Amino acid sequence: MSYPPLYDERPAQRRRGRGSERTIALVALVIAAIAVLIAAVLAVLLVRKTGSPATAPVATASPLVVKTNAAPTRRPAQPKTRAGARLAAQKVFDLYTSGQYGPFWDRWTSEAQRLVSRRDYVRRFRLCPSIAQGIRIQISAVSVTGDHARVTAARSIATFVYDFQYERGVWRFVPDADQQKEYQTKSVDQIVREERVAGMCG
């Protein structure tokens, strides 16, 4: 035998649902009011501190940046011209004649630098100074063919022809065949002994 329910639950559930909705709306309204109040207080404090109304930061569009894999173009340190070779050669010669043998060695080609270390080259002239040190080398003619330059220059009454090679944007000195052979077959100490015997040390 079935009995009717003691009461109808559905109207009560609807009443509770409407009550909870009102409560949520009221809480949201209170939170919004508090947020507006806090914003107003912060704006007043900011105006007092800076002396001017606060302004919202304006977003600016960043310029379009196009990235490429191409390396930036760099101008060579010395032009590959007769004028460039002449200027470079004169600087190299001036280093040598003024006794700056380390910086002079720095202007050699990379291949020539393998003949003798910078330290040994400087030591050679410390042990046996050049008798012609201080006498400037004067350039009279320069010819350029591709990466190679031939420089004609005089020192005192003697005239010589020197070779320069264009390497990594710079004109570099190339020791002559006799100098290269000397460093290939002898140590610096042997070279110094022979020059002392020959009276070539200053």
CB within 8 A of 36, min separation 6: which ones?
none
- Residue-wise pLDDT for 160-186, tens only, equals 999 999 999 999 999 999 999 999 999
User: For the whole prediction, is pTM greater than 0.85?
Assistant: no
Dihedral sign of CA atoms 148, 154, 155, 159 in order: positive
CB 109 within 8 A of CB 174: yes
Phi, psi of 123 (to 5 degrees): -65, -35
Question: Structural domain boundaries of the chain?
Answer: 9-55, 82-197
Question: In this predicted structure, what is the pLDDT of residue 113?
Answer: 98
CB 89 within 8 A of CB 153: yes
Question: What are the pLDDT tens digits along the chain (202 aa)?
Answer: 443 444 344 444 444 455 556 666 555 665 766 766 676 656 545 546 555 444 444 444 444 444 445 555 566 689 999 999 999 999 999 999 999 999 999 999 999 999 999 999 999 999 999 998 999 999 999 999 999 999 999 998 999 999 999 999 999 999 999 999 999 999 999 999 999 999 999 8
Do residues 91 and 106 lie in contact, with contact meaning Cβ atoms separated by under 8 Å?
Answer: no
pLDDT of residue 1: 43
Q: Extract the tokens encoding 185.
A: 């077959």
Of the candidates 133, 131, 124, 97, the residue with the CA atom closest to the CA atom of residue 191: 124
Interatomic CA distance for residues 97 and 130, integer angstroms: 9
* Res 59: pLDDT: 47
Q: Which residues lie closer than 8 Å to 63 by C-beta, 6 or more apart?
A: none
What whole-number distance in Å separates Cα of residue 162 and Cα of residue 127? Answer: 25
Number of Cβ within a 10 Å radius of residue 70: 6
Give the pLDDT confidence of 120-130 residue by residue, as tens digits.
999 999 999 99
**Cα–Cα distance, 47 to 81 (Å, whole number):** 67
Q: What is the reported pLDDT for 77?
A: 81
Q: What local confidence, expressed as pLDDT, does residue 143 receive?
A: 98
Domain 82-197 CATH assignment equals 1.10.30.50: no
Check residue 127 and give its pLDDT. Answer: 97
Measured between alpha carbons, how far is 152 from 138 in angstroms, rounded to an integer?
A: 9
pLDDT digit string (tens) for 182-192?
999 999 999 99
Residue 139 and residue 89 in contact, taking contact as beta carbons nearer than 8 Å = yes
